[in-house]
Amino acid sequence: MPVNLPNIITIGRLFLVPFVVAMILRGQWSLAFFAFLLAGISDAVDGFIARRFDMRSELGAYLDPLADKALLVSIYITLSVVAVMPSWMAIVVVSRDLMIVGAVVLSWVLSNPVIINPSRLSKLNTAAQIALAGLVLGAHAFAIEDDVYLDQLLLVVAALTTASAAHYLAQWLRHMTS
């Protein structure tokens, strides 16, 4: 499995995760926000390069979603730990991802592997999770009052995350019982 430029960019995104977490824990909101923004830009760039120059790889197919999930899960947990996001939101986000990983692993253990392909709902959910994390980080970085938008976006993200979890669970159950 050759390591190509998109994979190197994705690995760089993985290295941003502990930096973003450390900056949040230290209250360095501007650095955390801009590192999060850089991670988002790098995600778009590595995807563009992989598609445009036909540099897609099996390694990249695993690394890219791993980097995305590592970043989002870490940010949600950390924002909850520093009490700028409700704990229940971190629990909802992390529980969905753990459920999906657990279902995939269990299907492999039971010799009935399932391939999880992101649905439109899942992509919308991820976009909403990114928007919420970006709003919280940006609000703290630039001292913007986020209460009005935060409550509404929390409910949207919770609903989308729950719906996405239910969708994946239904897909998995159909696969496992067919």
The predicted pLDDT at position 156 comes to: 97
Q: What angle do CA 84, 90, 95 make, to 5 degrees?
A: 180
The per-residue pLDDT for 168 is 96
- What per-residue confidence (pLDDT) applies to 62? 87
Residue 118 pLDDT? 86
Q: What local confidence, expressed as pLDDT, does residue 32 receive?
A: 98
- pTM given for the model: 0.94
| Calpha distance 178→175 (Å, rounded) | 5
CB 39 within 8 A of CB 47: no
CATH number at residue 84: 1.20.120.1760
Q: Which domain holds residue 94?
A: 5-177
Q: How far apart, in whole angstroms, are the C-alpha atoms of residue 20 and residue 8?
A: 19
Q: How many domains does the chain have?
A: 1
In this prediction, residue 1 carries a pLDDT of: 55
Indicate the DSSP class of residue 145. -
Instruction: Walk along the chain (178 residues) in steps of 10 and give the mean pLDDT of each run.
Output: 88 97 98 97 94 92 91 98 97 97 95 90 95 96 87 96 97 95
